[in-house]
Amino acid sequence: MENAITASESSASPTPDDVANIGTTTKRRWIILAASLLLVGGGIFTAWAMGLGSGTAPVVGYRIVNEFPHDANAFTQGLVITDGVLLEGTGQYGQSSLREVDLKSGRVLRQQPLSPRVFGEGITVMGDRIYQLTWKSGICFVYDAKTLQPVDRFRYRGQGWGITHDGTHLILSDGGYNLEFIDPKTFKTIRRIRVIDGRRRIDNLNELEYINGEIWANIWHSDYIARIDPKTGTVNSWVNLTGLHPRRPHREAVLNGIAWDEQSKRLFVTGKNWGKLFEVVTVSTR
C-alpha cells in the first residue's frame, strides 16, 4: 500500500572497521540492521526478497546524464513531461497537489491543491486532459492541460496507484499485479492484464509511464522498473536503479516517478521526498 509517512529514520550504517572490532553477537546485530536499511532504501535486499530480476527477463543498468533540483517536500506519486512541460502529482493527506515544475530549477510554477480528505496518486496527460488518481477515494480527477483547472472526474473500484495511457486507453495500477485498460470517454474497463516474469506474478505495480510501446512501472519499495508488454503483461526487461539516490530521509522515500520526454527522447526519474531529479539512460550490464 502507499503508506503515509509516520516518522523519520536514520540512514547511518557501520564502517568496516567498526564491524572488525566488535564481537560476534554485535556483528549479527549489524548484519540485521544493514539488511533492514537496504529494505528501507528499496535496494538490493528488497529486490532479492521480491524476486525482482530473478525471472526470465533480462536486467539492464543505468547511467546518470544530468541531475536537477527537486522539491524534497514533494511526496512524488506521478511524473509526466508533455510538450516540454514537467508535471508532477504529489501525495499525503493535506499535501496532495497537481503542479507544473520548472525542470532546471525545480521551482513550482503553478499548483492545484487537492482536498485534504484525499491522497493524490499517479498522473498522466492524454490529449488536452490531465488525469490524477487518488489512493483510497476511488476518484480520478480530470483537469484542463493548459489551465490545470478541474473539468471532470470519474470513479473506479479499488485503490489508485499509477496511471498512463497508450494513446487509446488509460492504463491504471492498483498496487497489485494487474493493469486495467479504461476507455477515457466512458471510463469503462476494456480489459485487464496480469503482469508476470516467467511464472512469477509481479506485485506492487506503482507509478506508470508508456514508453516506445512498453509500460514502464515502478515497483513499490524497490529500485527496479519493470518494462511490460501491454498485450501480454510479460516483463520484457528490468531496469535496476539501485544506488541512484542512496541517502533517503525515511522508509517511504522510495523510487517513484518516471517521465519520458517524447520530443527529446530523454528519460527522467525521481522519488518521494527526493531532493534530486535524474536524467538517466539505460546501459547493458554485460
pLDDT in tens, 21-40: 334 444 344 433 444 444 44
Share the mean pLDDT of the chain.
Answer: 85
pLDDT by residue (tens digit) across 44-94?
444 444 566 566 899 999 999 999 999 999 999 999 999 889 999 999 999
Rg, the chain, Cα only: 19
Amino acid at 236: N
Q: Could you give the CA distance from residue 256 to residue 221 in angstroms, rounded to a whole number?
A: 9
Cβ atoms of 96 and 52 closer than 8 Å:
no
pLDDT value of position 246: 73
Residue-range domains of the chain with CATH: 16-284 (2.40.128.630)
pLDDT by residue (tens digit) across 172-188?
999 999 999 999 998 99
3: which 3 cell numbers?
503508506
pLDDT value of position 177: 96
Cβ atoms of 38 and 223 closer than 8 Å:
no
User: Which residues 6+ apart lie within 8 Å of 139 measured at CB?
Assistant: 118, 153, 154, 155
Q: Could you give the CA distance from residue 142 to residue 123 in angstroms, rounded to a whole number?
A: 10
Residue 5 clears pLDDT 80, i.e. is over it:
no
| Confidence class for position 43, pLDDT limits 50, 70, 90 | very low
Edge to edge, what strands does the sheet with 139-144 contain? 120-126, 129-134, 139-144, 150-155
Q: Could you give the CA distance from residue 85 to residue 210 in angstroms, rounded to a whole number?
A: 17
pLDDT value of position 52: 62
Q: Could you give the CA distance from residue 279 to residue 26 in angstroms, rounded to a whole number?
A: 40
101: which 3 cell numbers?
515544475
pLDDT value of position 53: 56
pLDDT by residue (tens digit) across 213-263?
999 999 999 999 999 999 999 999 999 999 998 778 888 899 999 999 999
